[in-house]
Structure 1
Amino acid sequence: MRRDEFTEMRAFLEVARERSFTRAASKLGVTRSALSHTIRTLEERLGVRLLARTTRDVAPTAMGQRLVQSVEHHFEGISAEIDALKALSDKPSGHVRIVCPDDAIDLVFRKRLKTFLREYADIQVELIVDNGFTNIVERQFDAGVRLGEAIARDMVAVRIGPDVSYSVVGSPEYFQSYPVPQNPQDLMEHNCINLRLPTSGGLYAWEFQQDAREFSVRVEGQMVYSNISSAIDAALDGVGLAYAPTDLVSQHVDEGNLRVVIQDWCPTFQGYHLYYPNKRNHSPAFSTFVEAFRFRAGRT
């Protein structure tokens, strides 16, 4: 394969994966117009239309999908061999892309990233915040982050954090206008701050437990957010009650800016895990990242 043919094929595969000329051009480090010209040249040389373009989307045609299935694994093999050669150097290098919920940034990564980045100066880490159930294979992420209970069985799961407990909190200002709830059912009389689930579009039902019984309560309130950090800020402002990881609100509680209620009813979940497909060849950068963030009891 000539160099220009290799470049054309790599460009086509990137557009097919990203379903976007803009995103593919950004990953390839070229302009959108140059990438469009490369694809057009490839289609003219082959005499077939490989991509169907609309104003909103780009998708492989039937012939384009056939080409993807035929050549993609060859390019993955080339990439794996290049990564293996890089592993022979003294220090791993490369790009690691992880998708995670917003609270995992503070609960897991922020505490240890500074040390990791200093030790592995040739590794670039990209953390994309998405509170939905992202398809990491389709979106070309190296791994995703979820609580242990939410990981599919066909994925490799590596624990990266301790168990996560949740608390219901409100500000002193809020409790000047509302009574302190004594049980989860009392929340129906309160202004609760809801969390929108990106994947389903529904509102997250607050989870509780009593002895061995687990149940959920669909709360109501004036405010809905798509991330936990904003819900905590709203609780601090006296807008309503928030349901959030205990570690993220503990400092506010200690300082007297938030008060924990109905704590005996609040559950504890398995800690956050990295999850990724079970394939043989992972880049040295990713393997190094996994080992560095693997949870070990007693380590801060």
Structure 2
Amino acid sequence: MARTDVFTGLSEFLAVAAHASFRAAAAELGVTPAAVSQAIRSLEARAGMPLFQRTTRRVALTEAGVDFLARLKPASNEIGDAFDALSVLSQRPMGNLRLSVPRIALDLVIYPLLPAFRQAFPDVTLEIDVDDASVDLMAGGYDAGIRIGDFIERDMIAVRITPDFTWSVLGAPSYFTVRGRPQTPEDLMRHECIRYRFPTARTIYRWQFARDGREFSLDAPGGILVNDHISMIELARNGVGLCYSADKVAASELASGALEPVLRRYLPTKPGLFLYFPTRSQAQPKLRAFIDAATALMRAK
């Protein structure tokens, strides 16, 4: 036998108790008096006793009905308050926004965005989980994530928040003084390269190049592997070897001369950072506000 929903008949009971009338209850609920009467009969059958006394002129609660109403009313008020709270959440940005971001997104997006965002939306708290590994947003309880465009799941909505990246082979002046500068991608096979291992897949990233309209990749040699871009740049800065990174990620090192680019004519342009999230999540005002702030930041640069 099918299980009866515990809430079946409760709205009819509350309406009849409030109005002391089946007809008035039916008008409030937008149903027929017969439907209300049937719902009450079913509820009383579940209760095993009458909840209302009925005459042709009057409807009144029985003792059991009075006791049931006394227990049910606070719960009904709590449910009403819960819906009111949902209504508030749907109308303005508030609540906790959980984001999964790689380290490279901190300088490029998070740090410049947060001061103005917090000032504009003080009722939104941000929980930022910094991790270069791929994550399952829904399993991890995240509202959204930030990743390089090439590495976003296909079933996600993705919103661009940085321009495309031009990738670069970078080295410190001290490294080039000792080892010289590679002139072609194939020359890298005689250099010390700092390699990147994907944290989730555990595979090693092959450096991407382009020549005469054709893209190709190299498994650059080297004795050091890391699993985040910032460590790779810092090691290159210290003359340990060459690294392969996006120009915007190493912008300060390039500007100061701490790192110098080589092989520029062979380097491709690839998608930059995107904010991504499940389709239904974008209806949340807190996420919508963050999307607008992030895209406005990109346009301002």
- Per the shorter chain, which TM-score range? 0.5 to 0.7
Q: Would you say the 8 A contact 2:94–2:286 is kept in 1?
A: yes
Aligned to 2:41: none
Q: Would you say the 8 A contact 1:170–1:236 is kept in 2?
A: yes
- Deviation, structure 1 residue 199: 1.3
Q: Would you say the 8 A contact 2:113–2:297 is kept in 1?
A: no
Residues 255 and 79 of structure 1: CA distance in aligned 2, closer, same or farther (over 3 Å): farther
- Deviation, structure 1 residue 280: 6.5
2:88 to 85, 88, 91: 85
**Aligned pairs for 1:90-239 within 5 A:** 92-239=93-240
- Deviation, structure 1 residue 219: 1.1
Structure 2 distance, partners of 1:280, 1:204, is: 31
Q: Deviations over 1:119-169 (max 9, x none)?
A: 112211122122222111111111122222333332111111111111111
Q: Matched residues, percent identical? A: 34
Identify unmatched segments of 5+ residues in structure 1: 3-77
Q: Would you say the 8 A contact 1:83–1:283 is kept in 2?
A: no
- Deviation, structure 1 residue 246: 0.5
Residues 122 and 275 of structure 1: CA distance in aligned 2, closer, same or farther (over 3 Å): same
**Aligned pairs for 1:36-75 within 5 A:** none
Per the alignment, in what secondary structure is the counterpart of residue 158 of structure 1?
Answer: strand
Structure with more helix by fraction = 2
Q: Would you say the 8 A contact 1:94–1:124 is kept in 2?
A: yes
Structure 2 distance, partners of 1:215, 1:82, is: 54
Residues 256 and 160 of structure 1: CA distance in aligned 2, closer, same or farther (over 3 Å): closer
The answer to whether structure 1 residue 272 and structure 2 residue 268 are counterparts is no
Per the alignment, in what secondary structure is the counterpart of residue 145 of structure 1?
Answer: strand
Aligned to 1:36: none
Structure 2 distance, partners of 1:211, 1:256, is: 30
Q: Structure 1 stretch 79-88 or stretch 106-115: which is displaced more?
A: 79-88
Per the alignment, in what secondary structure is the counterpart of residue 176 of structure 1?
Answer: helix
Aligned Cα RMSD in Å? 2.5
- Deviation, structure 1 residue 281: 7.2
Residues 253 and 79 of structure 1: CA distance in aligned 2, closer, same or farther (over 3 Å): farther
Structure 2 distance, partners of 1:81, 1:270, is: 42
Q: Would you say the 8 A contact 2:161–2:298 is kept in 1?
A: no
Q: Structure 1 stretch 249-258 or stretch 174-183: which is displaced more?
A: 249-258
Larger radius of gyration: 2
Aligned to 2:78: none
Q: Would you say the 8 A contact 1:83–1:284 is kept in 2?
A: no
TM-score between the two structures when normalised by the length of structure 2: 0.68
Q: Deviations over 1:195-250 (max 9, x none)?
A: 11111112111111124211111112122111111111111111000111112323
Q: For 2:133, give the aligned amino acid.
A: G
TM-score between the two structures when normalised by the length of structure 1: 0.68
Q: For 2:145, give the aligned amino acid.
A: G
Q: Would you say the 8 A contact 1:162–1:295 is kept in 2?
A: no
Q: For 1:239, give the aligned amino acid.
A: V
Structure 2 distance, partners of 1:224, 1:80, is: 52
Aligned pair count reads 223
Structure 1 distance, partners of 2:228, 2:296, is: 24
Q: Would you say the 8 A contact 2:281–2:287 is kept in 1?
A: no
Q: Would you say the 8 A contact 1:93–1:284 is kept in 2?
A: yes
Identify unmatched segments of 5+ residues in structure 2: 7-80
Q: Deviations over 1:100-126 (max 9, x none)?
A: 221122222222222111211221112
Structure 1 distance, partners of 2:86, 2:271, is: 33
**Aligned pairs for 1:24-39 within 5 A:** none
Q: Structure 1 stretch 256-265 or stretch 243-252: which is displaced more?
A: 243-252
Structure 2 distance, partners of 1:83, 1:121, is: 18
